Structure 1
């Protein structure tokens, strides 16, 4: 009868199995399988939010962090463990586009929202 609620709870649990952390020098992401990827804060070159139409049954909001080579260094889904602390730090970056982030959070389709680019 409440199968949709059970699926929603499982999805949230799956996203929470991802772990993202930040310290003075790096941002690290550990995915659900335990693989770790990271980017040095000094080498962070851009941030995109990618949304898709798989919600609410799958992760539909992803944070993509780009390294010095302008390739994705690490990515994590909204709802990852540790996300609030990382988000607080990212939102303080000079030029962070809060309007684009707000637009991304309201998106239910397949879209990409650039929210920050390292100043030249």
Structure 2
């Protein structure tokens, strides 16, 4: 253990997204964080999917994947372990809006982009 680590304690995560735990099963997606309430949604309950961009980075996540249902939902920050796996699944949904995904990736404003809506 280095002297700086002894003085200042455990080093903080490099990215705020590293503090999120995303659990993906056949039935649900769960997102946990020590400073937030646990969020969970069943795959079958998803009615709308958005990307939400904020201007809070780099000290907080600034792009969130929102999986929304009538009575449940969860937010997954881009860069969290599990984000890519969820994206791979939802991007195969019929009528997924790839143009809005691309628009979100080039956006630095506070804005929401609808990626998919249940028919």
Alignment partner, residue 18 of structure 1: 20
Structure 1 pair 32/99, CA: closer, same or farther in 2 (3 Å)? farther
Name the SS of the counterpart of 2:15 in structure 1.
helix
Name the SS of the counterpart of 2:65 in structure 1.
strand
Name the SS of the counterpart of 1:63 in structure 2.
strand
Q: Which runs of 5+ in 2 are unaligned?
A: 1-11
Q: Structure 1 stretches (4+) deviating beyond 3 angstroms?
A: 32-35
Structure 1 pair 65/101, CA: closer, same or farther in 2 (3 Å)? same
Are residues 1:79 and 2:79 paired? yes
Deviation for aligned residue 1:11: 7.2
Structure 1 pair 72/51, CA: closer, same or farther in 2 (3 Å)? farther
Q: Which runs of 5+ in 1 are unaligned?
A: 1-9
Structure of greater Rg: 2
Structure 1 pair 12/66, CA: closer, same or farther in 2 (3 Å)? farther
Name the SS of the counterpart of 1:16 in structure 2.
helix
TM-superposition CA deviations, 1:3-39 (whole Å, max 9, x none)? xxxxxxx675321111223221111111243742111
Are residues 1:30 and 2:50 paired? no
The number of residues matched between the two structures is 108
User: TM-score by structure 1 length?
Assistant: 0.79
Are residues 1:107 and 2:101 paired? no
CA distance in structure 2 between the aligned counterparts of 1:12 and 1:78, rounded to whole angstroms: 14
CA distance in structure 1 between the aligned counterparts of 2:46 and 2:74, rounded to whole angstroms: 10
Name the SS of the counterpart of 1:81 in structure 2.
coil
